[in-house]
Structure 1
Amino acid sequence: MKSKVIKGAAFSALSLALMAALSGCGPDKDSNVTAAPSVTVSQPVKSVITDWDSFTGRFEATDSVEVRSRVSGYLEKVAFQDGAIVKKGDLLFVIDSRSFQAAVVQAQGKLSQVRSQLALAEQEFARANVLIESKTIARSLYDQRLQARQAAQAEVLSAEGALSAAKLDLEFTRITAPMSGRISRKLISEGNLVNGGNSSATLLTTIVSIDPIDIYFDIDEQSYLKYRRQANSAANQSQVRIALPGEVEPSMTGRMDFIDNRLDSSTGTLRQRARVSNKDLQLSPGQFGRVQFSSQAAYPALLLPDTAISVDATRKVVYVLNPQNKVEIRPVTLGKLHDGLREISSGLQAQDRVIVDGLQRVRSGDTATAQDRVLAQAAKTPEAQGAPL
């Protein structure tokens, strides 16, 4: 029993010695001091920018026409290729003209007949004019000759009009392009009866102009009010940039030439139109495009990468280092993306040192070790210029 007590005391002494030895190998009190976190800071980029608002629009032809016949008859010939470019005056359709040629001959015969009657009436009136001076004929007979002459003159005028109408109908059997542009497909084939000359005339095809071409787009009421406020300071408010589907950057420009006279009460939008040159004919009516529109002159702004911007509850903030290298929080108001950098509308000064890397390692009030970096505007990205349609 005494032996067990001695062994237990020895074991306890050994344990205390081991603990003392281990505690002697622990870290010094100075080693518990945490080193200041390292962050990367940069001053915001100063740049002169232009705000571009983006709207989706649709191209429409400046002019369009429905080709219909002015006379009725059987279609004899289609003289164009579907989808071709036509010029004003090009032959498009031919209607069987034989009945119209016969009508012209008949009108010519009628005109010859009434002209002959007029010649006789002129002779009889000339004799009556001589005889009335010598009082050889009665006044009533003179009046009859005068009336016959006037009636013959009216008959000639009527026959001449009928001949002109017959010639016009004959001319209308050859249907030509009323304007230059791109023609659609034929909507009726040779041999079919064509109705013409009234509101129910047969639609033969359509033609749309292609150069220039218009793009229509709707702006919201808020943008409309903003443009009205900024109108006095706008440098080039009639100029628009246009990007086609799949394009990152606008590839063409246009000029505003129409603003509707009222907002659509059902959508709260205002329709506008820009005219675009289409000399290479790459645009067709019905295509979509993204219209970028600015109503104010270029202005200086401060830019930061989105990675330097944080969210603090319901506000956007950035972290800056003061002259003592302490972290401060600055609430900011954000603008749009410009060449990959975000505009800071308010809350920041040009000389501020903004933390752009290492935000997760610091909190407000911390002291940090700063590494300087110079920001450069990134290459234009889809977010900066409007994503492809």
Structure 2
Amino acid sequence: MTFPSPTTSQTITRAGIGLVAAATLLVLAACEKPQASAEIGTPPPPPKVSVAEVLRQPIHEWDEVTGRLEAPQSVVIRSRVSGYIDQVAFEEGALVQKGDLLFQIDPRPFAAEVRRLQAQLDRAIAQSKRAEAEAKRGDQLRAGKIIGSEEADARLSTADEARAAVVATRAQLEAAQLNLAFTEIRAPIDGRMSRAELTIGNLVRADDSRLSSIVSTDQVYAYFDIDESVYLKYSALTKSGEVGAAAPVYLGLTNEEGHPHEGRMDFLDNQVNPGTGTIRGRAVFDNRDGLFTPGLYARLKLVGSAGYVASLIDERAIGTDLGKKFVLVLDAGNKVAYRSIEIGPRQNGLRVVRQGLEAGDRIVVRGLQRVRPGMAVDPDIVPMADAATLAGFATAAGAASAN
């Protein structure tokens, strides 16, 4: 058997390897060409993004402050007479009506004084009648020259003194009757009572002892302080007639979202506090449902501008680029364009855009991270605001224009 020489074997081996490699490259080329052709022939579809048209709504801008609630009327209950408490006639913390009995002071000493003075008045009236009769008879006797002028004048003087005594005694009786009436301590206003600070059997001193307190409940005041810039802006709006003196004010409590309660501006102080640079204001709110309690903390929203039509967008549509705000706007061919904007305050969950957008502009509201300027997109048209938000704008605009 003849074996190939080493040189011949190496030559055959190299040739075989070369053939195998060539065949492999041909196979790979055959596989890759259709795939590359497919990629070139079918580009990926444009990304689908949520797009909304800029909302145009008439609005007023608002300034937000904080304050405390107070009752329009607050009365400390005290007795006008001294004596011992016989009765506490109200339920602590309950609503009472003006004139309801609250406390009863022992009336017996005062009733006795009324009876004594009534008797004294009766006696004074009788003495006055007798003195008047003597004075008339004295005039007759003087005319007949039976008595002298001096005695007749004395009788007239006695009659005058008797009449004066009647007037004085009647005044004393009226004062005693008032004191007797004051033993019944009644509610001076409609409102809600506090606790009884003195109870049955305790001695009450006139105009000194604090018995309880009562606050009105049908309305409530919200007192707040505003700085000079807000005051000057509000004053200018009022003087120009763009905002009425009874401008709407909206209130929210600590457990509430937003400012759901509407009231009106009621009072603005006559000077700025130089120590704080603020001025005290007051708004009034209806409280017939008893929701508000004096002393509660309140968040308030005041009219801060004249009405105007604003561009509003979803906060999520706003991007930040080196501290500047921008949005992505779609042109007529659904291509994305970068647009710088200047933003204003929030309104009903949307953001006011002062510059950079116009009516009819369509902006990307969701999916900003999937697109870039110059890219074509597939717009999914969505509303910029829901029905509740639009209703809120309508309500606020109506209230502001009405006031």
The bucket for the TM-score relative to the shorter chain is 0.7 to 0.9
1:216 is displaced (CA, Å) by: 2.3
Q: Deviations over 1:62-93 (max 9, x none)?
A: 21211111110111111111112111111111
What root-mean-square deviation, in Å, do the aligned CA atoms of Structure 1 and Structure 2 show? Answer: 3.7
Q: Deviations over 1:256-300 (max 9, x none)?
A: 222222233333333222222222223222233333333556532
Aligned pair partner of 1:314 in 323, 335, 340: 323
2-side partners of 1:355 and 1:281: how far apart?
46
Aligned equivalent of 2:203: 193
Give the 3 Å change call, closer, same or farther, for CA 119–228 of structure 1 in structure 2. closer
Does structure 1 residue 102 correspond to structure 2 residue 109? Answer: no
Would you say the 8 A contact 1:45–1:302 is kept in 2?
yes
Higher helix share: 2
Give the 3 Å change call, closer, same or farther, for CA 39–228 of structure 1 in structure 2. farther
1:37 is displaced (CA, Å) by: 7.3
1:206 is displaced (CA, Å) by: 1.0
1-side partners of 2:359 and 2:332: how far apart?
15
Would you say the 8 A contact 2:60–2:304 is kept in 1?
no
Give the 3 Å change call, closer, same or farther, for CA 50–380 of structure 1 in structure 2. farther
Would you say the 8 A contact 2:71–2:220 is kept in 1?
yes
Aligned pair partner of 2:265 in 239, 256, 272: 256
Q: Deviations over 1:143-178 (max 9, x none)?
A: 322222222222221111111111111111111111
2-side partners of 1:321 and 1:247: how far apart?
38
Normalised TM-score (structure 2): 0.78
Does structure 1 residue 219 correspond to structure 2 residue 226? Answer: yes
Aligned equivalent of 2:339: 330
2-side partners of 1:357 and 1:104: how far apart?
86
Amino acid corresponding to residue 123 of structure 2 in structure 1:
Q
Aligned equivalent of 1:286: 295
Give the 3 Å change call, closer, same or farther, for CA 135–280 of structure 1 in structure 2. same
The aligned runs of 1:72-91 (5 Å cut-off) are: 72-91=82-101
Aligned pair partner of 1:142 in 148, 152, 177: 152
Aligned equivalent of 2:182: 172
1-side partners of 2:296 and 2:312: how far apart?
35
Does structure 1 residue 266 correspond to structure 2 residue 275? Answer: yes
Q: How many pairs are equivalent?
A: 373
1-side partners of 2:244 and 2:72: how far apart?
27
Give the 3 Å change call, closer, same or farther, for CA 98–35 of structure 1 in structure 2. same
Q: Deviations over 1:328-351 (max 9, x none)?
A: 433211123334332211111224
2-side partners of 1:161 and 1:254: how far apart?
49
1-side partners of 2:52 and 2:177: how far apart?
84
Amino acid corresponding to residue 246 of structure 1 in structure 2:
N
Would you say the 8 A contact 2:246–2:266 is kept in 1?
no
Would you say the 8 A contact 1:59–1:285 is kept in 2?
yes
2-side partners of 1:42 and 1:185: how far apart?
59
Does structure 1 residue 374 correspond to structure 2 residue 344? Answer: no
Aligned pair partner of 1:68 in 78, 103, 111: 78
Amino acid corresponding to residue 95 of structure 1 in structure 2:
I
2-side partners of 1:167 and 1:260: how far apart?
43
Normalised TM-score (structure 1): 0.81
Amino acid corresponding to residue 228 of structure 2 in structure 1:
E
Q: Deviations over 1:204-252 (max 9, x none)?
A: 1111111133222333333223323433323796223333333335443
Which structure 1 segments of 5+ residues have no match? none
1-side partners of 2:236 and 2:79: how far apart?
51
1-side partners of 2:352 and 2:131: how far apart?
94
2-side partners of 1:237 and 1:115: how far apart?
60
Q: Secondary structure of the residue that 2:381 maps to in structure 1?
A: coil
1-side partners of 2:340 and 2:144: how far apart?
117
The share of aligned pairs that are identical, in percent, is 39
1-side partners of 2:174 and 2:360: how far apart?
85
2-side partners of 1:324 and 1:379: how far apart?
29
1:29 is displaced (CA, Å) by: 12
Aligned pair partner of 2:212 in 190, 205, 212: 205
Q: Deviations over 1:14-69 (max 9, x none)?
A: 8xx79x9599798979989x989747354323333343433333322121211111
Would you say the 8 A contact 2:237–2:306 is kept in 1?
no
Give the 3 Å change call, closer, same or farther, for CA 323–172 of structure 1 in structure 2. closer
1:192 is displaced (CA, Å) by: 0.7
Would you say the 8 A contact 1:37–1:362 is kept in 2?
no
